[in-house]
């Protein structure tokens, strides 16, 4: 597959005359993309053998991967543009019969505000998942309660092991970007569903190959990011949430609802595992809008 990428890069240099700096950027972006595909989208999908094997599901998983790693909108837009340009080239050269990236859109560049659910929407989603009585349903409500209770990245969530959750101390330990470890407190509702999952559902799902993985799929293997994403889409549809819902949406909602409830920016930074408080400050725009809305409702002259 890399031979085709090199042909594309040669095309950019010779026929389009791009600068060495731009060539290097394309090469780095596409090297990351190919490495992601070779990993089977972090183990979520079968690794494609040829470009003709790449599907829209692979590309969606890659976009989610970029969002999960919290690249800026401009960086994600560039990486997605590099990927789309490659597929246009492959289609024009008739190396693929159809372009899986044709309908994909790049994120808007700038500083778009994170999308957050309302508290009512979160309650509706969690109540919908809680009605699922199967072992997978018990697992799913435990995962969603934990995601919203701790503001985890989806990669952190699916990467958890049994030893990372301490129900007596009501904490979860996770290793984030750069190998940085953080300990996050949990509320009683999250602990209760985790306890139910560990007592009932996980033993039923587990096999001799499960190891220490906390959250398991129906085969007893560690649940993947893609597997969790697909389950989340199903629950969102069933609960009537029409906005695009991803695991990152719940992380955004966690941060927004904490700040709206009075938590300090520094506290939320620590819980999210942001290296810089500047990354967390984007949420202040959301909470400022909440304050303005409350002002408009409460002030007698603001109506």
**177, 182, 238, 290: which is the annotated catalytic residue?**
177
Question: What does the block give as tokens for 198?
Answer: 């560990």
Our answer to whether residue 208 is catalytic in this structure is no
Q: How many helices (H) and strands (E) does the chain have?
A: 15, 3
φ/ψ of residue 293, rounded to 5: -65, -45
* Residue 47 φ/ψ region, left for φ over 0, alpha for ψ in the -120 to 50 degree band, beta for the rest: beta
**79, 153, 231, 257: which is the annotated catalytic residue?**
153
Q: How far is residue 218's CA from residue 220's CA, in Å, rounded to a whole number?
A: 5
**79, 225, 251, 252: which is the annotated catalytic residue?**
251
Our answer to whether residue 251 is catalytic in this structure is yes
Whether 252 contacts 282, CB under 8 Å: no
DSSP annotation of 179 reads G
Question: What does the block give as tokens for 80?
Answer: 């997605």
φ/ψ of residue 175, rounded to 5: -110, 115
* Alpha carbon separation from 64 to 36, 50, 148, 251, 279 (Å, rounded): 12, 22, 18, 13, 19
- What burial class does residue 106 get, using C-beta atoms within 10 Å of its C-beta: 0-12 exposed, 13-18 middle, 19+ buried? middle
Our answer to whether residue 23 is catalytic in this structure is no
Question: What does the block give as tokens for 65?
Answer: 């991967």
Our answer to whether residue 177 is catalytic in this structure is yes
Our answer to whether residue 301 is catalytic in this structure is no
Helix (H, G, I), strand (E, B) or coil at 95: coil
Our answer to whether residue 76 is catalytic in this structure is no
**231, 252, 257, 274: which is the annotated catalytic residue?**
274
Tell me which residues are annotated as active site: 153, 177, 248, 251, 274, 283
């Amino acid at each position: 597959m890399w031979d085709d990428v090199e042909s594309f890069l040669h095309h950019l240099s010779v026929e389009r005359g791009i600068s060495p700096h731009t060539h290097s950027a394309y090469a780095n972006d596409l090297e990351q993309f190919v490495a992601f595909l070779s990993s089977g989208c972090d183990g979520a999908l079968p690794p494609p053998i040829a470009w003709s094997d790449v599907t829209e599901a692979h590309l969606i998983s890659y976009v989610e991967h970029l969002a999960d790693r919290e690249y800026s909108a401009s960086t994600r837009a560039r990486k997605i543009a590099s990927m789309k340009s490659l597929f246009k080239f492959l289609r024009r050269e008739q190396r693929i019969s159809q372009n899986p990236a044709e309908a994909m859109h790049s994120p808007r560049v700038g500083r778009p505000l994170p999308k957050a659910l309302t508290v009512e929407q979160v309650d509706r989603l969690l109540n919908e998942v809680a009605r699922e009585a199967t072992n997978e349903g018990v697992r799913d409500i435990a995962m969603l309660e934990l995601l919203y209770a701790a503001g985890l990245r989806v990669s952190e969530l699916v990467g958890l092991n049994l030893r990372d959750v301490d129900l007596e101390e009501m904490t979860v330990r996770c290793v984030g970007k750069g190998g940085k470890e953080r300990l996050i407190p949990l509320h009683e509702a999250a602990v209760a569903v985790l306890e139910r999952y560990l007592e009932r559902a996980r033993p039923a799902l587990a096999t001799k190959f499960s190891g220490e993985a906390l959250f398991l799929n129906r085969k007893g293997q560690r649940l993947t990011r893609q597997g969790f994403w697909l389950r989340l889409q199903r629950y969102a549809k069933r609960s009537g949430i029409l906005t695009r819902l991803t695991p990152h949406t719940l992380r955004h909602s966690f941060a927004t609802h904490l700040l709206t409830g009075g938590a300090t920016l520094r506290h939320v930074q620590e819980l999210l595992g942001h290296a810089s408080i500047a990354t967390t400050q984007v949420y202040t725009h959301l909470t400022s809008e909440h304050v303005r809305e409350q002002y408009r409702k409460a002030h007698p002259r603001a109506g």
